[in-house]
Structure 1
Amino acid sequence: MARKRRGLSAEDKALWSRVAASAVPMHPARKPDDLPLPEPTLKPPRPMAPPPSPLPLAELRIGGRTLGGPAIRIDLSPAPPQTVHAQPLRMDHKTHRQMTRGKLAPEARIDLHGMTLNIAQPVLTRFILQARAEGRRLVLVITGKGREGGPDAPLPVRPGALRHNVPHWLHMPPLNQVVLQIRPAHRRHGGEGAYYVYLRR
């Protein structure tokens, strides 16, 4: 059972009154009303982030109809001639100069025109491996230039997929073990629509 709390007795109240009367204030000249109130500390409002700008719409042409808004260029990979020319020279300098000037005749050629990517890749792989087995050094791979529009056109009208993918395939296994150098062909051998592929011995 909880004990009932008692209040102060008469003696305790008298004792407390004497103690309170003997207390000396720390600031006798100041009244409680004169004390300054603490200034409220307000944090400056956080700046609001500007709303994100809407992304531009890309123009897409399907069957002669234009869909979307203003056209922007969407190209995730550089043009094939740029990627091929950026490769370091791995073959003999004199032979390379003759090849790029069209003075070396390809010993074999393959035309990938009209093939889908799924068909063209295994056909190209067999051709390159067979040419290497036969001891050939310079072969010509014809891809075609692709659709009109040039390398700076938006993705839907960018030049052909074969022209873009063939250099990548030639740098992937198993062809990267047998291919020494890739260069765009001279115009007498197809120009931008074909590649010289120089094979290892």
Structure 2
Amino acid sequence: MSAPRGLSAEEAALWERLAATVEPLHPKPKLPLVAVPPVVPEKALQPKRVKAPKHVPVPPRQPPVPPAPPSVPLDRQGLDSGWERKLSRGTTAPDFTLDLHGASLDAAHARLDHGLIQAKAMGARVVLLITGKPRGAAAADRGEKRGAIRAKILDWLAAGAHGPDIAAIRTAHRRHGGDGALYLILRRRR
């Protein structure tokens, strides 16, 4: 955007002529002029130090706040009895399989994010997520030790961008990996 160019002499004269014809809607009351000698305090006679205004940086734009995680944990959300029966019997065939087993925590988190994007793009409803068997709560603190992915997976899903798209999480049937895998049931797109 360029700076305003200002008015030419001809434009300024036209503006003055137009401004003289305008009457304000709410005129200011005219106060009587009274000559009052100005009172100058002693401090005003001393020269003032003027501080240069500091440059105030503009705060960076905040990223949008992700939606709040559901009040019920994803592994406790209810499914209708038909879904529960199919999952417990292992008769549901996964639409998409995502294997995180054997990856580092960072690689597993990235693979989970990209895999869920791909599964949603394909229109998958049931994702088989292979995490490896859980090894207890202390495994999550060790980072790279066995069972760390499984210990972190619910936190990643609840706090991540895909949490609202997941209707429920269940432990997989024995034929699909048992304790070492999870079923993610994705919400139907509307």
Q: Which has the higher contact order (CA 8 A, sep 6+)?
A: 2
**Structure 1 unaligned blocks of 5 or more:** 1-82
Corresponding residue number in structure 2 for 1:121? 109
**Runs of 4+ residues deviating >4 angstroms:** 152-156
Corresponding residue number in structure 2 for 1:103? 91
In structure 2, distance between residues paired with 1:152 and 1:180: 25
In structure 2, distance between residues paired with 1:190 and 1:144: 9
Instruction: Write the letter of the residue equivalent to 2:90.
Output: G
Instruction: Write the letter of the residue equivalent to 1:100.
Output: S
In structure 1, distance between residues paired with 2:159 and 2:138: 27
TM-aligned CA deviation for residue 84 of structure 1: 6.5
1:150-189 mapped onto 2 (5 Å cutoff): 150-151=135-136, 160-189=147-176
Aligned residue-pair number: 114
In structure 1, distance between residues paired with 2:117 and 2:80: 22
Structure 1 SS opposite 2:103: coil
Say if 1:84 and 1:184, in contact at 8 Å, map to a contact too: no
What is the CA RMSD across the aligned residues, in angstroms?
2.5
Say if 2:95 and 2:127, in contact at 8 Å, map to a contact too: yes
Q: Does 1:112 align with 2:112?
A: no
In structure 2, distance between residues paired with 1:170 and 1:100: 22
Say if 1:169 and 1:175, in contact at 8 Å, map to a contact too: no
Q: C-alpha deviations, 1:6-25, integer Å up to 9, x for none?
A: xxxxxxxxxxxxxxxxxxxx
TM-aligned CA deviation for residue 153 of structure 1: 7.5
Say if 1:139 and 1:196, in contact at 8 Å, map to a contact too: yes
In structure 1, distance between residues paired with 2:125 and 2:77: 18
Instruction: Write the letter of the residue equivalent to 1:151.
Output: G
Q: Give the structure with the larger helix fraction.
A: 2
Corresponding residue number in structure 2 for 1:13? none
1:185–1:95 distance in 2 versus 1, CA, 3 Å: same
Structure 1 SS opposite 2:159: coil
- Structure number with greater Rg is 1
TM-aligned CA deviation for residue 159 of structure 1: 5.3
Q: Report the TM-score, using the length of structure 2 for normalisation.
A: 0.53
Q: C-alpha deviations, 1:58-116, integer Å up to 9, x for none?
A: xxxxxxxxxxxxxxxxxxxxxxxxx775x131x32211221122110101101112211
In structure 1, distance between residues paired with 2:137 and 2:121: 39
Instruction: Write the letter of the residue equivalent to 1:192.
Output: D
Q: Does 1:195 align with 2:185?
A: no
Instruction: Write the letter of the residue equivalent to 1:133.
Output: A
Say if 1:185 and 1:195, in contact at 8 Å, map to a contact too: yes
Instruction: Write the letter of the residue equivalent to 1:117.
Output: L
Instruction: Write the letter of the residue equivalent to 2:174.
Output: R
Q: C-alpha deviations, 1:2-56, integer Å up to 9, x for none?
A: xxxxxxxxxxxxxxxxxxxxxxxxxxxxxxxxxxxxxxxxxxxxxxxxxxxxxxx
Say if 2:137 and 2:151, in contact at 8 Å, map to a contact too: no
What percentage of aligned pairs have identical amino acids? 40
